[in-house]
Amino acid sequence: MAETCVKRAFKYRFYPTDAQAADLSRTFGCVRKVYNLALAARTQAWARQERVNYNATSAMLTAWKKTDELAFLNEVSSVPLQQCLRHLQTAFTNFFGKRAKYPRFKSRKSAEYTTSGFRFRDGKLLLAKMTGPLDIVWSRPLPEGAKPSTVTVSQDPAGRWFVSILCDDPGIGPLVLTDAAVGIDVGLDHLLTLSTGEKIANPRHERRDRSRLAWAQRRLAKKAKGDGANRRKARRKVARIHTRIADRRRDHLHKLTTRLVRENQTLVIEDLTVRNMVKNRSLARAISDAAWSDFRNMLEYKARWYGRDVVAVDRFFPSSRLCSACGTLREKMPLHVRTWTCDCGTTHDRDVNAACNLLAAGLAVTVCGAGVRPQRSTPGGQSATKQKTSQREP
């Protein structure tokens, strides 16, 4: 049986003409309007204990186009309008399946086109009801012979335009098997500490631009409320600083996760609840800047791509308080204690010791199971839940 190619999105920046920017802005507005109208209709039907599916909202869209109030919906391509209704149906499916919260009203500037809504030929992309091809900066090549299945156009808060092209990437597949395994302990002083003893510094991207961001936010706060030109310019400056921080952070995490996945067959991490941890007012900004959740997401999907294993050990496993040499468990380990000496005479670096313990627990689960309740992510996307440890770390 032939292996299926991995679908991968390639994102590029492009520079639209004034006419194209106007057409895209109009399309974004129509997509947002249709999505919100359909969501409101389904919410009202839900209150009446009625079920409305995609076919019903599609019929509503046809009726809306015939009214004088919403006749402007005919000016844009119907493809992204239908796609937003499909996305709404997926959102409700996830909600009923208890995989997501109730859908919210749309505010993002984006539109998705399927194959009937665009033409891609000789490196040129032409969207339906659009004047001329998009001026795309091809920062990296698409896979040879790529046939895009969907194209998503978006604009970020900083005013930059992007196009995301989804296609099969035959270059992604399982890497050569290796016996290498690594335990990974995340932190703030050091972003990552590996069981090999290597420590990866925390770049602290937000801290580097904090003074510039504060200055821009003060300028924005002084502008008159409303939709004036000066306030728009000030808001755009704040957004540009935020996007600069986010871009640097994302680039750094991509490089780290790609390196770790390529070098190791098994990667063991801790199953942290970052959502609860950021409630700590003293550490919320530093934790958000470290982006532990983004790191884990990147690690897991790249592991699925390349046939690697990611094992997430339960957050209550006492990795910091457990001696990796003799197995002695200390009762307490305050955060300010960075090195400690066990009764067996071994002196530990707190983070390296935690990474070693995570690795040992993850390998134990991989081989024969253990009492650390891991959540194992495999290339097939399956997970296994084990028994919770009896020892919990405060």
Read off the pLDDT of residues 264-305 as tens digits, 9 standing for 90 and up: 999 999 988 888 888 888 889 999 999 999 999 999 999 999
Q: pTM to 2 decimals?
A: 0.83
pLDDT band at 339 (very low <50, low <70, confident <90, very high): confident
User: If we measure between CA atoms, which residue out of 91, 75, 257, 247 comes closest to residue 162?
Assistant: 247
pLDDT exceeds cutoff 90 at 116: yes
Token output for 97:
């399946």
Minimum mean pLDDT range among 52-56, 194-198, 386-390:
386-390
- Structural domains of the chain in order of their starting residue, each with its CATH number: 6-169 (no CATH), 181-202+240-377 (3.30.420)
Q: What is the mean pLDDT of the chain?
A: 88
User: If we measure between CA atoms, which residue out of 32, 79, 43 comes closest to residue 58?
Assistant: 79
Question: What pLDDT does 394 receive?
Answer: 32
Question: What pLDDT does 171 receive?
Answer: 85
Which alpha helices (H) appear in the chain, and where do they start and end?
18-47, 54-65, 78-96, 205-208, 210-221, 229-263, 274-277, 284-290, 292-306, 350-367
Token output for 358:
């995570």
Kindly provide the b/e burial profile for residues 303-338, where b requires at least 16 CB atoms within 10 angstroms of the residue's own CB.
bbbbbbbbbbbbebbbbbbbbbeeeeeeeebeeeee
Q: Which residue has the higher pLDDT, 33 or 321?
A: 33
pLDDT exceeds cutoff 50 at 387: no
pLDDT exceeds cutoff 90 at 213: yes
The residue behind tokens 């186009």 is 65
Query: What would you report as the CA-atom Rg of the chain, rounded to the nearest whole angstrom?
Result: 25
Q: What is the pLDDT of residues 41-87, one digit of tens each?
A: 999 998 888 889 999 999 999 999 999 999 999 999 999 999 999 99
Strands 347-349 and 339-341: antiparallel
Which of the residues are catalytic?
185, 270, 351
pLDDT band at 338 (very low <50, low <70, confident <90, very high): confident
The C-alpha atoms of residue 354 and residue 333 are separated, in whole angstroms, by 12
Specify the length of the chain in residues. 394
Question: What pLDDT does 383 receive?
Answer: 41
**Counts for the chain of helices (H) and strands (E), in that order:** 10, 15
pLDDT band at 388 (very low <50, low <70, confident <90, very high): very low
User: If we measure between CA atoms, which residue out of 208, 199, 23, 236 comes closest to residue 113?
Assistant: 23
The C-alpha atoms of residue 236 and residue 161 are separated, in whole angstroms, by 14
Stretch 169-191: mean pLDDT, rounded? 91
Q: Please give the share of the chain, as a percent, with pLDDT higher than 90.
A: 65
Q: How far is CA 289 from the centre of its chain?
A: 14
pLDDT exceeds cutoff 70 at 369: no
Q: What is the pLDDT of residues 220-273, one digit of tens each?
A: 999 988 888 999 999 999 999 999 999 999 999 999 999 999 999 999 999 888
The answer to whether 77 touches 128, Cβ cutoff 8 Å, is yes
The answer to whether 301 touches 377, Cβ cutoff 8 Å, is no
Q: Please give the share of the chain, as a percent, with pLDDT higher than 70.
A: 92
Which amino acid type is present at position 279?
K
Kindly tell me the burial class for residue 360, based on how many C-beta atoms sit within 10 Å of its own C-beta (0-12, 13-18, 19 or more): buried
Q: Which residue has the higher pLDDT, 215 or 371?
A: 215
The answer to whether 274 touches 293, Cβ cutoff 8 Å, is yes
Minimum mean pLDDT range among 135-149, 211-225, 288-302, 338-352:
338-352
Which amino acid type is present at position 165?
I
Coil, strand, or helix at residue 239? helix
pLDDT exceeds cutoff 90 at 146: no
Stretch 346-364: mean pLDDT, rounded? 86
The residue behind tokens 């930059």 is 160
The C-alpha atoms of residue 125 and residue 135 are separated, in whole angstroms, by 9
Question: What pLDDT does 237 receive?
Answer: 95
**Strand-pair partners of 377:** 310
Q: Give the CA angle between residues 72, 76, 80 to the nearest 5°.
A: 120
